[in-house]
Amino acid sequence: MVCGAALLAAGIFMMGNGVTARALETEPDCKSAYSCDYGTGTVIYAKEETKRLPIASMCKIMTLLLSFEAADRGELDYGETVTVSENAASMGGSQVFLAAGLSYTVESLLKSIAVCSANDSCVAIAERIAGSETAFIDKMNARAKELGAENTLFANCTGLPKEPQYSCAKDVSAMLCELLKHEKYFDYTKIWTEDFEHPDGRKILMTNTNKLVRFYNGCDAGKTGFTNEAGSCLAATAKRGDMRIVSVVIGAENSKKRNAIVSSLFDEAFNGYENRIVLKAGEEIEARAAVAGSKVREMRLCAEKTLSVFGKKGESGDCSVEYKVEGLRAPVGKGDAAGEAVLFSNGIEVGRTKLVAMEDAPAFTWWDAFRETAKNWN
């Protein structure tokens, strides 16, 4: 089985072990495209994947990512209300027509960004998190650097045309992959239509701009984009079984073509590749950890995260798991780290996870220690 991160050179797609990946039968009619396995990062297809291009509203992926991360840190609460500024209410393009001076919940604002790409909600959230959109943009660019997005520069939080501002298909994929770590994001992206309710009684019907959530089997999230400069763009993800694929298209002629291209990238992945689990999270492994200072002499261990290999269907490979087990000293609690498991495919490391204790190992009591000493004396 083919595993590992892919390398791209001279238009030839090389997997991490040197096996050439299958290309699409017809090159997609767009400026740039990128498709990869979410679990391993293995590249399935790439076209001009690092070319700097305008990405329109796909930049809202970063706006949403920073919002969910702020909530995780306790700096933003989904139930709190945000009073909309004149600046936020004045945004053009796609919007839910927020009224300046009125207050909306963070939940409703984030939902409107994810579902119908509301520019006014983006600015309202940006101002709430960072004090101003300008300060928020600094956070966006800093986070992009942390993710290794070397060909990305944000000039606003909406994706509306403004120079200089650009990204690339590979960077967009990295940002979406990071956003997908937040389960609450899926609560919004699966919505097809829903009313956005204003505090003054108005209602605006939101319709999901990502049509694939309804018309492609397994698609459950993504972000669209369109401006005259960027063309039609889409970053989306689909999951079937244990395999999740992320695909990005920049600069398609229209929304119908961008949807068709992303669908073909998904088809290529699901029809031609498979994801085989080698080590499943939570399942006991054969290796044991020695425990000092406890009646529990050997600790049962399991993997914290699932390790799997991804590659073409029907192709075998040499996969192995190396356990690096640490000696433990009591007290040990269930879930405590006890080493690492490293997955190799054809001699190349393709993943690793912590090994954790499956039970408690309390330290000797005074009486336990006395009995142990007596036992050894005898």
Residue with tokens 């060909």: 151
Q: Evaluate whether 310 touches 39 at the Cβ level (below 8 Å).
A: yes
CATH of the domain at 350: 2.60.410.10
My answer on whether 271 and 290 are in the same domain is no
pLDDT digits (tens, 9 = 90+) for 234-291: 999 999 998 999 999 999 999 999 999 999 999 999 999 998 889 999 999 999 999 9
CA 161 to chain CA centroid, nearest Å? 26
CB atoms under 10 Å from CB of 299, counted, come to: 26
From 275, 306, 326, give the residue that closes a domain. 275
Among candidate residues 9, 17, 30, 82, the one with its CA nearest the CA of residue 235: 30
Bridge pairing between strands 284-292 and 328-329 = parallel
pLDDT digits (tens, 9 = 90+) for 293-328: 998 999 999 999 999 888 898 876 788 999 999 999
My answer on whether 266 and 329 are in the same domain is no
Rg value, the chain, Cα: 25
Residues tagged active-site: 57, 60, 117
Residue with tokens 């300046």: 100
My answer on whether 33 and 165 are in the same domain is yes
My answer on whether 205 and 307 are in the same domain is no
Domain encompassing residue 88: 7-275
How confident is the model at residue 24, as a pLDDT? 62
What is the pTM (predicted TM-score) of this model?
A: 0.82
How confident is the model at residue 350, as a pLDDT? 87
Would 2 be classed as within a structural domain?
no
Tokens of 21: 């990946």
**Domain count of the fold of the chain:** 2
pLDDT at 143 over 90: yes
My answer on whether 296 and 271 are in the same domain is no
In angstroms, the CA 172 to CA 148 distance is 11
My answer on whether 226 and 368 are in the same domain is no
My answer on whether 249 and 325 are in the same domain is no
